Structure 1
Amino acid sequence: MHNTKEKIVLASIKLFNEHGVASVRLQQIADETGISVGNLAYHFRNKEAIVSSVYEKLFDEFRQLLSTYLLTPSFADFDGQMAGYFEFFKTYRFYITDLFSAEHPLPDIQAEWEMFMNKMILQIKNRIDFHVSRGELLPESSQGTYYLISESIWMTLVFWIPQQTLRRKPVTEGRYRTAVWNHLKPYFTQKGLDTFELISPVLSQN
């Protein structure tokens, strides 16, 4: 069973997803948690403290997700991390407005977001280089091509869910992963195609 502080954090995430971080008031969080504002203040002195705790949870999960990088050297490993990204960005949907705030009320959070996003792109580029070295992706046709593709994959991982939601399109894990793989398919070698065939049936089931 969740303790009260955990319930407050989970209620806050739900409300942030529905209304945005800036719009949610302490009274709403208290009501969603089923406690009084006074009880809420006992656990968190202000909204900023709640936001910090939400981000502590968010960044801890993101850190764990990044740590799954190359657990096994395979396309399946990359596909598994994609599935993790899907669950993460679906769970913390409020990130899309908070991530790009011109002046974030908590600058440390904005700085950490930037660090995580840069690490994502670096991991993607390293994955591509690794699969080129294994003969599963074609060598780079011109310098910088795979870095640009890494950025495009990053944009898909981060922005696919909100843009699909905005356009009232289905948001499923299979479609998400397919959208990412489509960036790399034109660069598969025959060996890469044969390897990808082993995981493509799984995509069609989601």
Structure 2
Amino acid sequence: MDTKERILKTAMELYNDQGVYTITSRHIAAEMGISGGNLHYHFKHTDEIIKTLYERLSVDFDAIILAIASLPGIDLTTVMSFVDRSFELMYKYRFIFLHFVEISMRIPAIKKDYYQLTQRREKEFLTIFEKFKADGIFRKDIPAEVLQALITQIFIVGDFWLSNNELTLKLRGSKAIAHYSHIFSSMFYPYLTASALSGLHK
């Protein structure tokens, strides 16, 4: 692993453990046993590190969305596996979600990108929902405005479940992922067809 990758890995570990405002470039360099000058050769300031990690999170999410959208057919088990993968990814980058409002104010490029991303994701989710209808997972009688509301709920739960966990249950690792991915998946329950429900309870 080269120095730049080690910086990103160390920074994410420290941010996840202690938050973005506690950790400076000096802390990251000290944890790695390198000089501040060496770190700043790769990243001029910590905002660049945070932005790079955010961009990697976005790329990894794109891969998950693309994978589910490109499947010729889909069942509920596949859907749930994608939910689990998404929550594992969010937990891996949890500092971003726990401090996202502050980060977006501190780094305007992230705020701008997030807005554009939500617009793109909205279209992607609608495409996936149409696939769910075609594959007999979602009921065909769901009004468009209700599906639109579901997308907003997905953003809210996806972006803030980690904050809820920190304020309430304080679950860690796989326990947090399993608990909240189940809660997230439960949002889809009212939209499922009878056949999808019957497969869910097998």
Equivalences for residues 145-160 of structure 1 within 5 A? 145-160=146-161
Distance 1:27 1:17, change over 3 A: same
Distance 1:50 1:103, change over 3 A: closer
Listed one character per residue, the Cα deviations across residues 128-148 of structure 1 (whole Å, up to 9, x for unaligned) are: 332223333223354411221
Counterpart in the other structure of 2:48: 49
Counterpart in the other structure of 1:123: 124
2:132 equivalent to 1:140: no
Amino acid at match of 2:164: Q
Secondary structure at the aligned position of 1:94 is classed as helix
Structure with the larger RCO, 1 or 2 (CA within 8 Å, 6+ apart) = 2
Normalized per residue, the structure richer in helix is: 2
Counterpart in the other structure of 1:192: 196
Secondary structure at the aligned position of 2:28 is classed as helix
Per-residue deviation, 1:169: 4.6
Per-residue deviation, 1:78: 2.1
Listed one character per residue, the Cα deviations across residues 63-100 of structure 1 (whole Å, up to 9, x for unaligned) are: 32332232433223322221121111101111125432
Query: Structure 1 residues 164-173 or 10-19, which shifts more?
Result: 164-173
Per-residue deviation, 1:106: 2.6
**How many residues are treated as equivalent by the alignment?**
197
Distance 1:14 1:76, change over 3 A: same
Counterpart in the other structure of 1:96: 97
TM-score normalised per structure 2: 0.81
Q: Which consecutive segments of 4 or more residues in structure 1 shift more than 4 A?
A: none
Per-residue deviation, 1:37: 1.5
Secondary structure at the aligned position of 2:69 is classed as coil
Counterpart in the other structure of 1:203: none
Per-residue deviation, 1:9: 0.8
Counterpart in the other structure of 2:30: 31
RMSD: 2.5
2:182 equivalent to 1:181: no
2:17 equivalent to 1:13: no
Identity %: 22
Secondary structure at the aligned position of 1:137 is classed as coil
Query: Structure 1 residues 99-108 or 68-77, which shifts more?
Result: 99-108
Per-residue deviation, 1:177: 2.7
TM-score normalised per structure 1: 0.80
Name structure 1 gaps, 5 residues minimum.
199-206
Distance 1:185 1:6, change over 3 A: same
Name structure 2 gaps, 5 residues minimum.
none
Contact 2:29–2:36 at 8 Å: present in 1 too? yes
Contact 1:70–1:78 at 8 Å: present in 2 too? no
Contact 1:98–1:104 at 8 Å: present in 2 too? no
Counterpart in the other structure of 2:87: 86
Per-residue deviation, 1:7: 0.7
Distance 1:132 1:97, change over 3 A: same
